[in-house]
Amino acid sequence: MSPTATKSKNPVSPKDRMKIPRQLMPEQPAEERAHNFEEVNLGYSAELAQQEAKRCLECAKPTCTDNCPVGIDVKKFVELIVAGDFLGAAAKIREANVLPAITGRVCPQEDQCEGKCLLSKKVKPLGIGYLERFVADYEQKMGIHVVPNVAPTGKRVAVVGSGPSGLTVAGDLIQKGHKVRVFEALHEIGGVLVYGIPEFRLPKQIVREQIDYMREMGVEFETDVVVGRTVTIDELLEEEGYDAVFIGTGAGLPQFLNIAGEHLNGVYSANEFLTRINLMKAYKFPVYDEPMLDLKGRDVAVIGGGNTALDAIRSALRLGARKAYVIYRRSDAEMPARAEEVHHARQEGIDFQMLTAPIEFLSDGKGWLTAARCVRMELGEPDASGRRRPVPIQGSEFDLPLSVAVIAIGTSANPIVQSTTPGLVTNRKGYIQASEETQRTTRKGVFAGGDIVTGSATVILAMGAGRRAANSIHEYLTTGAW
């Protein structure tokens, strides 16, 4: 018998744990949710959560934790769920992750914690994301907010950008007694969590609650400030008296295909499409003023295969699109989107046109999109990314009739801060150069992390960078050493 089993609070014998099936996440029926913006997943009940938690084998060397970018002690928090101590479980997670209600919902678990769960060798992996979400939501429902009481250090930190990296830095540093002010270019706090990821995947109320909690802890937020334009990094340091600055401005610039017809009415970047819907609430027009092309009964396609692409097309479906296509130039295996989203999208009736790429957008002669001329692809030799390169098949062109096309083929670095901060070194692609351990940039007192350093990545990687940055900012502020 393994040593863990003797101490275990788990009443089920290790052998029998494998016999418990992975507990399904209750969800809105596909045909219903395809027409509303309510959350797809409804969350575990306490019973389901405990039943799922009992599947954990309590490994001596938990590979789940090794494969979580912030090293959450999964075994421990799951054990606390089995024991019924949900608040304890939440506290355990918070030691490594300040936004569990968010990561539990949006982490690509299949590539991270769950991907390396020992269970997955024989049966389905433990539902770590679902459990994380459960305890975070439980804690929120109980309304328990521990506002730490720490002695002020008298140091001030400016955080630029309020995405997951910036929020993590702010949350960590305020708990160490520093004053923190977050500057955000948009009118809402949250970065991609509010302007990109739609309500049906991440209810904005959850993001808002996390931010309110930070406000309670004393974090100050100033919206409508584009750092580099409204105020520069140098002015923050020299004139406004900040002792350190963290840059977490994300990878916000949309890329286009550079094919004919991209200027037609009806062709959107995913950022614009999702911003209109999520940030500006165009789906509630005319209660909200921001307009949106009417998608009812229209055919819509998104170009791309990542989370952004799926978020856009599933939003289009919810706005009444008749046909909703994903046009992706590689095959299923290469799609970067979270597995659960692909599964949900298929259930909802999204039509996946795989190994297909648009080569031109066609118009009605009056400036409006009518179709995408596409070509079918086949997979050739692996490219630099190790994925097999798609090659067009001669003579396979066809026209796909469309009213709206959304381009979701990736983003690049937003240059505003870099171009207005002398001495801040960037890499070839314009991302800020920062140490992988300390997140220090080439400017004294200036740290950076998240997508603006790595290029588009994930929420949890941005948070991991925020955590490392907070630690080294704290060290810098207390020792003064650079």
Query: Cβ 84 to other proteins, closest distance in Å?
Result: 42
Does residue number 336 form part of the binding site for ligand FAD (CB under 6 A)?
Answer: no
Site size toward other proteins (CB under 8 A) is 43
Q: Which of residues 77-116 bind ligand SF4 (CB under 6 A)?
A: 97, 103-104, 107, 109, 112-113
Stretch touching ligand FAD by CB under 6 A, among 8-16, 225-233, 295-303, 359-367: 225-233
Query: Cβ 457 to ligand FAD, closest distance in Å?
Result: 5
Site size toward ligand FAD (CB under 6 A) is 43
Does residue number 294 form part of the binding site for other proteins (CB under 8 A)?
Answer: yes
E-strand stretches of 330-456: 351-353, 356-363, 369-382, 388-392, 398-401, 404-407, 411-412, 446-448
Query: Cβ 436 to ligand SF4, closest distance in Å?
Result: 19
Does residue number 263 form part of the binding site for other proteins (CB under 8 A)?
Answer: yes
Look at the block and give the residue holding tokens 């928090």: 77
**Angle (nearest 5°) at CA 211 between 39 and 137:** 45
Residue from 16, 31, 224, 378 binding other proteins (CB under 8 A): 224
Does residue number 450 form part of the binding site for ligand FAD (CB under 6 A)?
Answer: yes
Q: Which of residues 1-60 bind ligand SF4 (CB under 6 A)?
A: 56-59
Task: Give me the sheet containing 404-407, strands edge to edge.
Answer: 267-269, 404-407, 299-303, 323-327, 351-353
Residues 6+ apart with CB under 8 A from 341: 201, 307, 310, 311, 314
Does residue number 249 form part of the binding site for ligand FAD (CB under 6 A)?
Answer: yes
Query: Cβ 45 to ligand SF4, closest distance in Å?
Result: 20
Nearer to ligand SF4, 178 or 338 (CB): 338
Does residue number 130 form part of the binding site for ligand FAD (CB under 6 A)?
Answer: no
Q: Report yes or no: 79 and 10 within 8 Å, Cβ to Cβ.
A: yes
The closest alpha carbon to 244, from 442, 453, 447, belongs to 447
Residue from 206, 207, 219, 227 binding ligand FAD (CB under 6 A): 227
The closest alpha carbon to 405, from 332, 309, 335, 334, belongs to 309
Does residue number 127 form part of the binding site for ligand FAD (CB under 6 A)?
Answer: no
Q: Which of residues 365-424 bind other proteins (CB under 8 A)?
A: 366-367, 414-416
Q: d(Cα 120, Cα 134) in Å, to the nearest integer?
A: 21
Q: Report yes or no: 64 and 76 within 8 Å, Cβ to Cβ.
A: no
Q: Report yes or no: 369 and 405 within 8 Å, Cβ to Cβ.
A: yes
Nearer to ligand FAD, 12 or 226 (CB): 226
Q: Which residues pair with 75 in a beta bridge?
A: none
Does residue number 86 form part of the binding site for other proteins (CB under 8 A)?
Answer: no
Look at the block and give the residue holding tokens 């014998």: 13
Does residue number 339 form part of the binding site for ligand FAD (CB under 6 A)?
Answer: no
Nearer to ligand SF4, 109 or 278 (CB): 109
The closest alpha carbon to 94, from 51, 144, 157, belongs to 144
Binding site for ligand SF4 (CB under 6 A): 56-59, 62-64, 68, 70, 72, 74-75, 97, 103-104, 107, 109, 112-113, 117-119, 126, 128-129, 132, 460
